[in-house]
A = this chain, B = another copy of it.
Amino acid sequence: MNPEPRSIRRIAINTGGGDAPGLNAVIRAATLGAYECGWEVLGIRRGYMGLLEAEVDGEPGICPLTPHSVRGITHLGGTILGTTTRGNPFGMEVRRPDGSWGTADLSDTIIERFRRLEVDALVAIGGDGSLNIAHSLHQKGLPVIGVPKTIDNDLQATDVTFGFQTAVEVATDALGRLHSTAEAHQRVMVVQVMGRHTGWIAVASGLAGGADVILIPEIPFQIDRIIDKVRERDATGRRFSIIVVAEGARPADGAPSYADETGRYGGIAERLAEDIETATGKEARTLVLGHIQRGGSPIAYDRNLALRFGAAAIRCIHDGNLGTMVALQGQSIVAVPLGEAIAALKTVNLANDTIQTVRQLGISLGD
């Protein structure tokens, strides 16, 4: 199924799922790398939707990507191709003849469109959902190379994902700003950061930002341990506390789930603040960092990782190494089979020295 290296003439690039700082750097590196091989590049807008909609808002669904069109985009947030969290070719929302909405498998249509466009390979940049789709398309005959994208850094196959360090930097900066006001006012600040399934951002920003408590999904917390920490600090004259909580953190077994009760994003920070206020009598305020963690210009670390991913994807296509995903392992970019890559969630390794460091610094993990 893999094309002969020399037979490549045209590739396509798309971005899917939530955005992450570094997407444009991947697009740039893949485009320039392809041109250096003498290939043409097509950008597909809004995931796979650009193949189905000839034009939206005056913009064609497909655009040529050239050295000119990817100039000066390395540092830009978002994605010049647009993205969508809808638009799965295997379950596309469609309107039925009777006017009602349903889903349909349009994967054959998608693959046919790629064929008519004479696309020899697709660089699919996306999270686990998008990579699953990419894998299925590859299995149906469309040569695909995957580029992982998750600011949560929770993909087993790669040591780090781009966008993650930028999110950590943004969260750390916010913690720094909160410190001075929390100290001046002797308050408890509860800061909710991203991480539905894993605590990578919470641990890294909490450590760098001087948190007193870090709560992550990997370690169900006991509210009493948190309150103990706030009181202990008070008793020794540090009358403020900073608590960083991943959005997916949850109380230890037996306790009611905060998330279930509140049933909405942002709930855990509010609930923690209430419990702490009630127990300690101290003012507790919340900050839900939300989308500023995933928007905006990537830091240099993420730009470089993203550029390396994009360039590596082109080398994979050139070498006929398709059906794979590029990944960072140690100091090098490697290609791992897509099927394996998307299988496993990478949770925070509780035995790693980072967690030891957290404990040695006297930071409570709520356990």
Residues of B within 8 A of A159 (CB): 330-331
Please, which residue of chain B has its CB at the minimum distance from the CB of A76?
A: B180
Residue of chain B at shortest CB distance from A294: B181
List which A274-301 residues lie within 8 A (CB) of chain B.
Answer: 285-288, 290-292, 294-296, 299-301
- Does residue A303 face the partner (Cβ distance < 8 Å to B)? yes
CA distance A168 to B301 in the complex (A): 8
Query: A217 within 8 Å of B by Cβ?
Result: no
What CA separation (Å) do A174 and B174 show in the bound complex? 10
User: Is there a chain B Cβ closer than 8 Å to A100's Cβ?
Assistant: no
How distant is A259 from chain B, measured CB to nearest CB, in Å? 18
Contact at A179–B292, with CB atoms within 8 Å? no
Which B residues touch A67, using CB under 8 A?
362
Measured in the bound complex, the distance between the Cα atoms of B72 and A176 in whole Å is 10
Q: Is A41 an interface residue (CB 8 A)?
A: no
Chain A: interface residue count, which band?
35 or more
Contact (Cβ within 8 A) B83 A295: no
Question: In the complex, are the beta carbons of B307 and A357 less than 8 A apart?
Answer: yes
CB <8 Å contact, B308 and A357: yes
Whether A239 and B180, one on each chain, are in contact in the complex, defined by CB atoms closer than 8 angstroms, is: no
Residues of B within 8 A of A238 (CB): 57, 71
Tell me which residues across on chain B come within 8 A of A354, comparing CB atoms: 304, 308
Cβ 8 A contact of A304, one of B28, B176, B208: B208
Q: Considering the complex, which residues of chain A in the window 41-96 have a beta carbon less than 8 Å from any beta carbon of chain B?
A: 56-59, 67, 71-72, 74-79, 82-85
- Interface check A97, CB cutoff 8 A: no
> A185 in the interface, Cβ–Cβ < 8 Å?
yes
Q: A84-B186, A178-B292, A189-B291 are in contact. List 7 more A-B contacts (CB 8 A).
A: A169-B300, A174-B292, A180-B295, A181-B294, A204-B300, A308-B357, A312-B353
Q: Which 3 A-B pairs have the closest CB atoms?
A: A57-B237, A78-B180, A77-B180
